[in-house]
Amino acid sequence: MFIALLVWTFTASLHNAFAKVTPQSAAIYGEKVWQEKLWKAALILGVVGNICLAFMFFPVSRGSCVLPLLGLTSENSIKYHIWLGHMAMILFTAHAICYIICWALTDHISDELSNDNKLSNSKLGGQEFEVMNRIEKFEFFFFFLPSSCF
């Protein structure tokens, strides 16, 4: 049922976004219609991936009071949590690949990867640094967390 939600969200959003793409709207950015549609599809893949992340925040511990309300056991919730993680990674990988293809086809890949581009929200090198930084903070947190909390 959850996959149906993701598919419906993706197709409905894609249908609505593609309806707004015209040769005139693509010409504003100096692109062709198919390029503009690829940009929209890449954005929507990221938005649909966020739905998976939202559901991953449900607690999966054995003592969770939320799980009985949903009719789940801890083992089932862990299985769903893993599948949600896999779906999120697939969607975000497709999202990133679409953006990299868009950048490569429009000759913006060097602009996006350089650090002097102030208009870009995404920096691949900066994202790698952020991930490593968060992993180090996560390890630091669990190193100093008392074992009685587990």
148: pLDDT confidence band, cut at 50, 70 and 90?
very low
Structure confidence at residue 149 as a pLDDT band (50, 70, 90):
very low
Domain residue ranges in the chain: 2-107, 115-150
Query: Residue 81 burial by CB count (10 A; 0-12/13-18/19+): exposed, middle or buried?
Result: middle
Q: What is the pLDDT of residue 11?
A: 93
Q: Give the whole-angstrom CA distance, residue 86 versus residue 84.
A: 5
Tell me how far apart the alpha carbons of residues 92 and 57 are, in angstroms, rounded to a whole number: 17
Tokens representing 147 are 């074992």
6-30 core/surface letters (b: 16 or more CB in 10 A; e: else): eeeebeebbeebeeebeeeebeeee
Q: What tens digit of pLDDT does each residue of 51-91 get?
A: 988 888 776 777 777 777 878 787 888 888 888 889 999 99
Q: Note the residue count of the chain.
A: 150
Residue tagged 């949600």 (tokens): 84
pLDDT tens for 107-145 read 777 776 665 555 555 555 455 555 555 555 555 555 555
Write the DSSP symbol of residue 65: S
